[in-house]
């Protein structure tokens, strides 16, 4: 089996993803699934903002981890691949949100929550990364 | 107006960005008029809703072309960092807003605002990135 050796920056990115992002997503899932759906937890006052901040943490942490990776990566080619993918993700997100916003305004579509926007971005970014990697294989 | 910009790639990008502004306004007004006056719905409404997004897609495409053609690596890196700052800020804002919509019942975020929010964060990132390399 071929062993693929990445850069130290990539190792750090993988570590941060595994030990920071994954636990935060698990916390998010527990909070969303157990507290809000099973226990019907309805936070009030300052707790609302704490819960919103907690549930936003994985997305914000992922952005920070990506930024750190891009700052630490010394391989110009890999950095260019990631930057291209991030830009495609940005483009797709802006296009989809503008389109959905227009559809909502004309009363043709239901409201897409702000929490969905990062998922649009990450799906587009991952698809673009896969295409870019395949093109440069 | 654009003579002060030395790089031909930067000049091209600036001119095209400015060209897209009246197009966004024109297409938005056209789409709104079409839906309000024509009472279109279904596929026709979908097609009309795409219209305001077209100049936005064009600007994003032009940024991609600029990043591919700009020979000055440093300028390219500065712009890429600003754009990343823009998307990071946008994602953070929309995520927090989305959860506040669920928990605190704050007013819904009109998705048409995502694009201006993105550029606002790009503008905020610009002096920060620029200062780092002064």
Tell me how far apart the alpha carbons of residues A126 and A86 are, in angstroms, rounded to a whole number. Answer: 9
The confidence score (pLDDT) of residue B17 equals 86
The confidence score (pLDDT) of residue B2 equals 54
The confidence score (pLDDT) of residue A37 equals 64
With beta carbons under 8 A apart, name residues in chain B contacting A120: none
Closest residue on chain B to A120 (Cα): B91
Give chain A's radius of gyration (CA, Å).
Answer: 18
Find out whether B9 and B70 touch, Cβ atoms under 8 Å. yes
Query: Would you call A56 and B112 a contact, using CB atoms and an 8 Å cutoff?
Result: no
3-class DSSP state of B107: coil
Pair of tokens at residue B62: 């032009």
* pLDDT tens string B89-129: 998 888 888 888 877 778 888 887 888 899 899 999 989 88
Tell me how far apart the alpha carbons of residues B22 and A132 are, in angstroms, rounded to a whole number. Answer: 33
Tell me how far apart the alpha carbons of residues B27 and B22 are, in angstroms, rounded to a whole number. Answer: 8
Query: Would you call A87 and B114 a contact, using CB atoms and an 8 Å cutoff?
Result: no
Tell me how far apart the alpha carbons of residues B82 and A90 are, in angstroms, rounded to a whole number. Answer: 12
3-class DSSP state of A49: helix
A45 part of contact set with chain B, CB < 8 Å: no
With beta carbons under 8 A apart, name residues in chain A contacting B111: 97-98, 100-101, 104, 112
The confidence score (pLDDT) of residue B79 equals 86
A50 part of contact set with chain B, CB < 8 Å: no
The confidence score (pLDDT) of residue A38 equals 60
Find out whether B80 and B52 touch, Cβ atoms under 8 Å. no
A35 part of contact set with chain B, CB < 8 Å: no
Closest residue on chain A to B42 (Cα): A108
* pLDDT tens string B4-50: 666 788 888 888 888 988 888 888 888 778 777 777 777 777 777 78
Query: Would you call B110 and A101 a contact, using CB atoms and an 8 Å cutoff?
Result: yes
Tell me how far apart the alpha carbons of residues B130 and B79 are, in angstroms, rounded to a whole number. Answer: 10
């Amino acid at each position: 089996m071929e062993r693929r050796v990445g850069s130290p920056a990539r190792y750090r990115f993988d570590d941060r993803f595994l030990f920071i992002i994954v636990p935060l997503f698990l916390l998010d899932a527990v909070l969303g699934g157990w507290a809000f759906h099973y226990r019907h937890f309805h936070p009030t006052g300052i707790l609302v903002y704490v819960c919103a901040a907690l549930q936003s943490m994985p997305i914000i942490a992922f952005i920070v981890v990506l930024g750190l990776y891009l700052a630490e990566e010394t391989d110009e080619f890999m950095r260019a691949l990631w930057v291209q993918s991030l830009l495609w993700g940005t483009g797709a997100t802006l296009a989809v949100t503008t389109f959905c916003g227009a559809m909502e305004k004309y009363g043709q579509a239901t409201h897409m929550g702000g929490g969905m926007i990062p998922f649009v971005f990450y799906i587009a970014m991952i698809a673009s990364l896969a295409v870019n990697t395949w093109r440069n294989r | 107006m654009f003579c002060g910009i030395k790089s031909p790639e930067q000049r091209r990008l600036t001119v095209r960005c400015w060209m897209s502004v009246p197009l966004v306004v024109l297409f938005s007004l056209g789409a709104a008029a079409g839906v309000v006056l024509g009472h279109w719905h279904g596929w026709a409404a979908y097609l009309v809703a795409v219209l305001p997004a077209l100049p936005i897609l064009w600007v994003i495409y032009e940024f991609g072309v600029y990043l591919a053609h700009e020979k000055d690596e440093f300028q390219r890196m500065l712009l890429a960092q600003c754009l990343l700052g823009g998307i990071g800020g946008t994602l953070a804002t929309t995520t927090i807003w989305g959860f506040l919509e669920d928990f605190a019942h704050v007013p819904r975020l009109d998705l048409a605002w995502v694009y201006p929010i993105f550029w606002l964060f790009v503008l905020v990132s610009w002096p920060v990135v620029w200062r780092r390399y002064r």
